[in-house]
Amino acid sequence: MDYKAKTVAGLLAATCVFSIIALILSVVNVKDVFLPPSTKYGLVFDAGSTHTALYIYRWPADKENGTGIVSQVEACTAPGEGISSYADNPAEAGASLKPCLDKAMKIIPAEQQRDTPTYLGATAGMRLLREQNSTKAEQVFAEVSKAIGKYPVDFRGAQILTGNEEGSFGWITINYLLETLVKYSFAEKWEHPRDTEVLGALDLGGASTQITFQPGVTTEDNSTSTFFRLYGSNYSLYTHSYLCYGQTQALKMLLADLHKGNSSSQEISHPCYPMGYQENVTMSALYNSPCVRAPSTPSPAQVLTVIGTGDPAACSTAIRKLFNFTCGANRTCGFNGVYQPPVRGQFFAFAGFYYTFHFLNLTSQQSFSDVNSTIQTFCNKSWAEVTQKQLQLHHTQWLVMVHQRTSSQKNANMNDPD
């Protein structure tokens, strides 16, 4: 991974970016740029399934071919989990945003606060809650809107991004940061880099995962195609978001699958947990999402004991069962029969991919065999050898590996110099 890619990876980790810049770029109203003063601010809440972050942006009040050049001033992580976790206590969702809004008010000059466009974009956690209980989802949105509305900002609304928006905004963000869309030249001018190929984007969130790239062919399924005009150039993209295939939800599907394999037992043998690890989980906690189907005779209070068996091969097999690689009517597909044209070009993987690979010191374009052997070594560690913090990674790296292999690595050369 070259210096620029490393810098971008760091930036992505630091900001947990899902598309913030893209959101600003695409929604900043043209009228704003004619207003004094010359620097404008914008606030974007990234309301993810696992956590919410507020990003404070600043940009000069002129535009490059109709698209703003934006820099991040500050990022603030809201306390607690994602807003969808407050489904039964929606007022708390609003309260969780206040510390970050207070921080923003200290940064943005008072005379500019009322001109500061403010957005909240929610992703897969809220898409799942809406699927499960649309009234609760609306209540959460009403409370977060009420909380933001109490601050002297130009609140433009809270919305649930579609999977396509999430995927394509992520693509714009990484290509913006890698300067493949526009670049500040030595001549101190913004220029279109010549002969640079834009990168495909692989985003592993908590509740969904997205793949987005410029296909070399016409997209056969219109629901997966999207079009952008940025800095004077046109981009036609393939994008798809797999709901439930984010890290947290996929692991829930895995646990439910393992339970289904022996549902009469109170114990679940888990090959992806280290040997010697044990935890209790209630049926209600396991089956609390539309991503997993509860047994026909539910007993919510029943406690299941998950016992780690530390078996990487069995773990890999169990994870593979979550993916269906039959393409059905489509000639080419990603998985679960979803149309996907042949992958093309280099890919940049971020979010959950980055956290895991960073932890394993695998972000320097190691070969795929090095990646595999590092993962094998880590997965063969017992519970006594890994800390609680490492546990999450211990059982998620297999998901990352299999997912990478299946959804993209099969055809793409993703950060792999071999």
Ligand X SMILES: Nc1ncnc2c1ncn2[C@@H]1O[C@H](COP(=O)(O)OP(=O)(O)OP(=O)(O)O)[C@@H](O)[C@H]1O
Annotated binding-site members for ATP:
206-210
Catalytic site residue from 166, 179, 220, 267 = 166
From candidates 181, 207, 258, 338, binder to ligand X by CB under 6 A? 207
- Rounded Cα distance between 72 and 190, Å, is 18
From candidates 123, 168, 175, 363, binder to ligand X by CB under 6 A? 123
64 is a catalytic site residue:
no
For residue 399, the cross-strand partners are: none
Quick one: the chain helix, strand, coil %, rounded to 5? 40, 20, 40
Packing angle, helices 247-260 and 388-404, rounded to 10: 90
Tokens standing for 256? 């439910």
SS3 for 77? Answer: strand
From candidates 48, 274, 308, 312, binder to ligand X by CB under 6 A? 48
Residue 170 binds ligand X (CB under 6 A)? no
Site for ligand X in 276-305 (CB under 6 A): none
From candidates 5, 9, 12, 16, binder to ligand X by CB under 6 A? 16
- If the CB atoms of residues 118 and 123 are measured against ligand X, the closer one turns out to be 123
DSSP 67: B
Site for ligand X in 224-263 (CB under 6 A): 246-248
Site for ligand X in 67-86 (CB under 6 A): 82
CB of 327 to ligand X, least distance (A): 25
Site for ligand X in 124-153 (CB under 6 A): 124-125
Tokens standing for 274? 């280290």
CB of 144 to ligand X, least distance (A): 15
- Give how many residues touch ligand X by CB under 6 A: 21
- Is the distance from CB of 130 to CB of 113 less than 8 angstroms? no
Which segment (36-44, 206-214, 307-315, 317-325) binds ligand X by CB under 6 A? 206-214
Q: How many CB atoms lie within 10 A of CB 187?
A: 6
Handedness of CA 371, 376, 379, 385 (dihedral sign): negative
Edge-to-edge strand order for the sheet containing 71-77?
71-77, 52-60, 39-47, 117-122, 154-160
Binding residues (CB under 6 A) for ligand X: these are: 16, 18, 48-51, 82, 123-125, 204-208, 246-248, 351-352, 355
Active site residues per annotation: 166
